[in-house]
Structure 1
Amino acid sequence: MASARQVPFRAFNPRRGLNPYHSPYTIIDCGDIPISPFDNALALLQMTSAFLELGSRKPVIKHASFPKPKLITLGGDHSIALPALRALNKIYGQPIAVLHFDAHLDTWHPAKYPSAWPSQQSDFNHGSMFWMASNEGLIINGSSVHGGLRTRLLGWEDYEDDTNQGFLQINADDIDDLGTRGIIDIVLQRIGTELPVYLSVDIDVIDPGLCPGTGTPEAGGWTSRELIRILRGLESLNIVGADIVEVAPAYDGTGEQTSLVASQIGYEILTSIVGRGLAEMDVQKGSGNEAKAHNEL
């Protein structure tokens, strides 16, 4: 029910001056990806195949700003980022920069995220998917960012492993010194506006006092207002895919506050993707008109 208000009616976003559902772009709910709950390897294959098939479709309106479909995925387990990155790597023919908002690194070696029954399948989990993606060459080393970190570690070696995978770390406490504007500037300086970006939002980046409905809550997180303000400031990023994950309704309050925040985050991401596309269309139209006027002169 928390996403019931996310409909084209009364969806005008005043901060951007647009209704993302009323634009030249077509927004489609593709439904659920059917996956096996019993076999991690099969589930990974099923998700990768689905992302690849959806992301390879021809856009309804093909334009330079939207040469391919852009996918926003609602989780579920954070491990969905790995099949998404595998698919995007094939679709775009290159590694992807990752902007990851989370309390946790999620770049742990599988051996540091132990299973009672170790196996190749158990290596794939919601704490190791970026480690796997990095080792497969799916992530642009040196251009990716974590934001909102306040995780518990095995030791300093966890940060060292993370740095070796090419991530810049922004801790939750940094917002007190830098403010939202400072964090926005750091991200834009690190990633730029041209690289293809996968935006991954774990709802536990927000303090559990505001978003309790998640599996691994950590005290001391950002507020929903702070995260939304940061996301709004990053509209110029070239987002090619995104996810909002780790929302666990069973742990949420009766007011569904976690789901409400996740729904709003999805709306903001959608608005930003559409807004950047429309801005690029306006620039290209302007260039075309200038060229036409020059020819007429």
Structure 2
Amino acid sequence: MSGLKFLDCGDIPVTAYDNALALSQMTMAFLELGSRPPLKKNDIDEIGTQGIIEAIIKRIGTTLPVYLSFDIDVLDPSVCPGTGTPESGGWTSREVIKILRGLESLNVVGADILEVAPAYDSAGEQTALVAAQVAFEILASWAGRYMANQEQTSGSEPEKNEL
């Protein structure tokens, strides 16, 4: 997609100021622990995927930057056997995709996918395929948000194609 690019930060030295800033941010995050009750795996049975989506958006909002960390072991081992900590009774890949698509309004600035263990995966590489789909959904959400922002700003100022 045009306009999307990776930024190579190279080898930037870490300074004492960087460490102080990181400590300050970690302290603030630690103080926030427990301020919002977590959503549990079985909540999907009670409130459904739409309820999960609404609860997340209500708690986080759509303006703050969000780092999305996705643990593959939230999925049932029948769907994703390739994880170090399989959880029976987990979600389906369909539920996960529906939730990720419902969270497109979040201001996701970074993401990771955890607990994928290829050594434990099936011969069909089910877990790897689901993890790839999760990555695709996250990237598609970013691209969609970027394109929507471009459309909103394109009418206000002509594009400059020169240095």
TM bin, normalised by shorter chain, reads 0.7 to 0.9
Distance, in Å, in 2 between the alignment partners of 1:239 and 1:25 is: 15
The match for 1:191 is 60
Amino acid at match of 1:254: A
Give TM-score scaled by structure 2 length: 0.80
Selected match of 1:279 from 126, 142, 148? 148
Show CA shifts across 1:6-49 (max 9, x none): xxxxxxxxxxxxxxxx2321258x8xxxxxxxxxxxxxxxxxxx
Distance, in Å, in 2 between the alignment partners of 1:247 and 1:222 is: 15
The match for 2:2 is 23
Amino acid at match of 2:28: G
Distance, in Å, in 1 between the alignment partners of 2:136 and 2:6 is: 12
For the pair 1:260 / 2:151, whether they are aligned, the reply is no
Give TM-score scaled by structure 1 length: 0.46
Distance, in Å, in 2 between the alignment partners of 1:216 and 1:170 is: 19
Structure 1 vs Structure 2: percent identity of aligned residues? 52
SS of the equivalent of 2:109 reads: strand
The match for 1:17 is none
What's the RMSD between the two structures over aligned residues?
Answer: 2.6
The match for 2:28 is 137
Distance, in Å, in 2 between the alignment partners of 1:194 and 1:241 is: 14
Show CA shifts across 1:43-79 (max 9, x none): xxxxxxxxxx47x8xxxxxxxxxxxxxxxxxxxxxxx
Amino acid at match of 1:25: L
Distance, in Å, in 2 between the alignment partners of 1:211 and 1:252 is: 7
CA contact (8 A) 2:36 2:59 kept: no
Distance, in Å, in 2 between the alignment partners of 1:231 and 1:168 is: 20
SS of the equivalent of 1:239 reads: strand
User: Which runs of 5 or more residues in structure 2 are unaligned?
Assistant: 13-17, 158-163
The count of residues paired between Structure 1 and Structure 2 equals 149
- Alpha-carbon distance change, 139 to 260 in structure 1, aligned in 2, over 3 angstroms: farther
